[in-house]
Amino acid sequence: MMIISSGPRSLLIAVVSAVAALVSFSSTHAEMSAWAENEGGRMRLVALAPDAGGKIRAALQIEPKPGWITYWKEPGNSGIPPQITIAAESGVTLDAIAYPVPKHFFNGAIEDIAYDAPVTLPLSLTAPGKGPVTIDAAAFIGICKDICIPFQANLQLKLGPAIQSRPEEEAILQAADARLPKPPSQDFDVTAHAMSPDRKTLSLDLVLPGEGKAAPDIIVTGPSGYAFTKQIGGKRDGATFKVDIAIGKLPKDYDIAGKQWSVLVIDGERAMETTLAFQ
């Protein structure tokens, strides 16, 4: 299925929780913000003090309530991808957001790529110079059940000295890193890829870690807001798998030459993410 995540969801969109943007949730000289809560769940910011180079390990913890989901970076037909903005006046910059392996959910014509359990998104931040650091972050996520609620909150942290031990925060960040997809390896990789001349299908050759009969779950992310998951004619032969992914409509006048897409492959208990470069 081709998924364009910018479209409106066919379910009722509730906007009442947007007022959460007016409220700040902070902890003075702590490494966890207070929880921000709404009807479908809660979220908070966790961080460690900057290292000698100013790098900060941090994370956004999201805990949906039972029966609710929150979204991956390319969320599905019309979900809301996580957005995190750091106030410019803090001097802290957001370098990257990492995403643990999501699940695929189907509800009629609606396809969601999301999490239905607590998830922690690792964040890579950089602080300027030395001295006290304050992180002032605006977090915006979607959280859905029968309705989809935009959930926005300001989360603030003042980080203490790096010499202090923070075992609880360390454990949270280590657990989040463990849930990330792994890079390619000798037994789990995309060995070849090619786009058809009409740009309707993407052919993939993969080596897979197991020798099961089931097809792996494959999520190809292209231009921002586009994800592709529909498999055509997949054939698994032991550890090898050949398949076409239906691409469908791309942005008008989109030129794939020189672009890099990503692919996430989930095979049983293992997941791998890599880049597809196009000439």
Pick the range with the lowest mean pLDDT from 81-95, 173-187, 211-225: 211-225
Residue 160: per-residue pLDDT: 72
pLDDT attached to residue 132 = 80
Whether residue 68 is found in the same domain as residue 89: yes
The pLDDT tens digits of the residues spanning 123-182 come to: 999 998 766 889 999 999 999 998 888 999 999 998 876 656 688 999 999 999 999 999
pLDDT over 90 at 26, yes or no: no
What's the rounded mean pLDDT across residues 107-128?
92
Last residue of a domain, one of 153, 179, 205: 179
pLDDT score for 95: 97
Nearest C-alpha neighbor of 220 from the set 204, 237, 196: 204
Phi, psi of 217 (to 5 degrees): -85, 130
Residues 147 and 237 in one domain: no
The pLDDT value given to residue 154: 96
Q: Tell me the two tokens of residue 124.
A: 């890579």
Choose the weakest-confidence range: 25-29, 92-96, 246-250. Answer: 25-29
DSSP, collapsed to helix, strand or coil, labels residue 20 as: helix
* Per-residue pLDDT at 8 exceeds 70: no
pLDDT at 275: 97
CA torsion angle for 241, 105, 117, 209 (degrees, to 10)?
Answer: -10
Residue 62's alpha-carbon distances to 59, 72, 170, in angstroms, are 10, 12, 17
| 244 and 132 fall within a common domain | no
Contacts of 76 (CB under 8 A, 6+ apart): 3, 5, 105, 110, 111, 112, 113, 114, 227
Helices (H), 4-87: none
Query: In the chain, what is the straight-line distance between the N-terminal and C-terminal CA atoms, in Å?
Result: 25
pLDDT reported for residue 27: 46
Work out the mean pLDDT of the chain and round it to a whole number: 87
Q: Examine the pLDDT at 202 and tell me if it is beyond 90.
A: yes
Residues 175 and 207 in one domain: no
pLDDT of residue 128: 84
The percent of residues above 90 in pLDDT, for the chain, comes to 67
Note down the domain range covering 56. 36-179
Residue 75's pLDDT is what? Answer: 85
Is the per-residue pLDDT at 21 higher than 60?
no
pLDDT at 37 over 60: yes
Q: Which of 179, 204, 232 is the last residue of a domain?
A: 179
- What is the predicted pLDDT for the residue at 147? 83
User: Residue 14's pLDDT band (boundaries 50, 70, 90)?
Assistant: very low
Q: Residue 112 corresponds to which tokens in the numbers above? A: 């969601």
| Under 8 Å between Cβ of 203 and 194 | yes
For range 89-105, the mean pLDDT? 94
Tell me the whole-structure pTM to 2 decimals: 0.88
Q: Is 63 in the same domain as 143?
A: yes
Q: Is 170 inside any structural domain?
A: yes
CA trace torsion 83, 261, 248, 206 (10° rounding) = -120
What confidence tier does 10 reach under pLDDT thresholds 50, 70, 90? very low
Structure tokens at 24: 């700040």
- At 30, the pLDDT band (50, 70, 90 cuts) reads low
Q: Domain tally for the chain?
A: 2
What's the rounded Cα separation, in Å, for the pair 94 and 57? 11
Residue 76 has pLDDT above 80, yes or no: no
Q: Span 13-42, mean pLDDT? A: 64
DSSP-assigned letter for residue 185: B
The CATH number linked to 99 is: 2.60.40.1250
Residues 259 and 175 in one domain: no
Mean pLDDT along residues 26-53:
85
